[in-house]
A and B are shown apart, each in its own frame.
Chain A
Amino acid sequence: MSAQGRLLIVDDELSVRDSLGKWFREEGYDIGIAESASEALTRMAESHWDLALLDIKMHGTDGIELQRRLHEIDPDLVVIMMTGYASVDTAVTALKNGAYDYVSKPLDPDEIAHIVKKALAHRETEKENLRLRETVAEITRPQELVGQSPAMKKVFEAVQTVGPTDATVLITGESGTGKELVVQAIHAASVRRFHPLVAIHCGALTETLLESELFGHEKGSFTGALYRKKGKFELAEGGTVFLDEIGDISLKTQTDLLRVLQEREITRVGGNQVIKVDFRCVAATNKDLEKLIEEGKFRPDLYYRLNVFHIELPALRERREDIPLLAHHFMRKFAQSMNKRISRISPAAMEQLVRQPWQGNVRELENAVERAMVVAQEPELKEQDFFFKAPPLPSSGGRSLEEIERAHILQVLEQCGENQSRAAEVLGIDRVTLYHKLKRYGWSRSAVENR
């Protein structure tokens, strides 16, 4: 491709084609010439063009119809119409059909050079804009929410339902259940996704600092306020404000927050100018807000304002079936970031993982896998690579009677040196029953005894 661009000139007058082609060639463009609509369509099929200069009045198919057909082939093609008659009607039709501009013959050299250059720059900007949007979408893509359990499927459905709306969302769940990931998913599914997602951890700040963070402050409004500062609601600028640990804010801040949510207006600390703000609010807490209301520590009106749509995230222990999936997900993630070729988790290690209490939920599981990945030898994560703080649940926890029976039979058999008669005696069942059970378990004698 030439530095300037590829231009297709379509006109049924030879002198126009020749003179314009030569003129644009001198300007540094790659030029294609067509004397009719059908030839133009052939040129389009043969190669790519950035811009087409079309004569409106041509024998056979005119420029307006040709423009429509060219755009069917390449919607990104920039079309500039030329006519010998300055007709407003045809100009309007051309522009309505997607032409970039319209010029009257003879063309003013300064004008046509400028229009073509501007049109191609505009096209480049649009392409760049698209590329940047895709990049932003890629960068802002939320980390994957992992889970196949019914509880998590309900969460995914809720995110899909509420994401595209502008409703305020309250997310509750224990610490480490992935509330921030849900916020990211809601933001990514919303029309506000190309605007910022601004998070603020309300519990980490004192009342005055939180006010300043949320609403901003004017220069000199308090000691240390050396500059005017925009608050989070202003910084969101059409995006999403995530208020984390909402249950930890003071009653005074709750009142201010309620006003912002109702009026969509803020006043900076130390200021008196009312500023309109456009944002979507998502709040999260691990506290029981209804209980806080009963204790007089949380405003019920703010609660109702926040609780327009409620998503409850299940604790990990309530969805143990997701643990293998999550463990493998984190294993793959850390294998990539640590550049380690670990591709599986041993059955014994997985059994331990499934049985852990996971008080810290998914975050704790993630940390456990990360730690194990550091010490593990390729290609497998083994039981000894994990360090479990809490003792595992009793072996019967969450298991069926059949599983317990199987484990017990195999344990006794091992203790009896794989002697089935002795094991049947210990278990109090007859030898044939034991044989059938072992067959069902797919058990076979160890290699040592078979020798």
Chain B
Amino acid sequence: MIEIAVLFAISCVGLAMALNLWRLAKGPTTADRILALDTMTINAIALMVLMQIQQGSAVYFEAALLLAMVGFVGTVAYCKFLLRGDIIE
């Protein structure tokens, strides 16, 4: 039962990442592309958590934690660059 639910969730998150990729390629403004990248990071974290449940191992937690932190810093750096033309002033 859990196996079917995990497969369903992984397919949903994979489809969501494909939609994000479409927005990343199409996005009319730069802010759209930043938003798409941020959402892809969040979906990648979800994918890692789901893969752990599927495999029954807990090896991806550190990677997911790092992605949660670095994704935020990257998004803020992109926005800061758009706003000020510089990241560290």
A binds B: no
Q: B residues engaging A (CB < 8 A)?
A: none
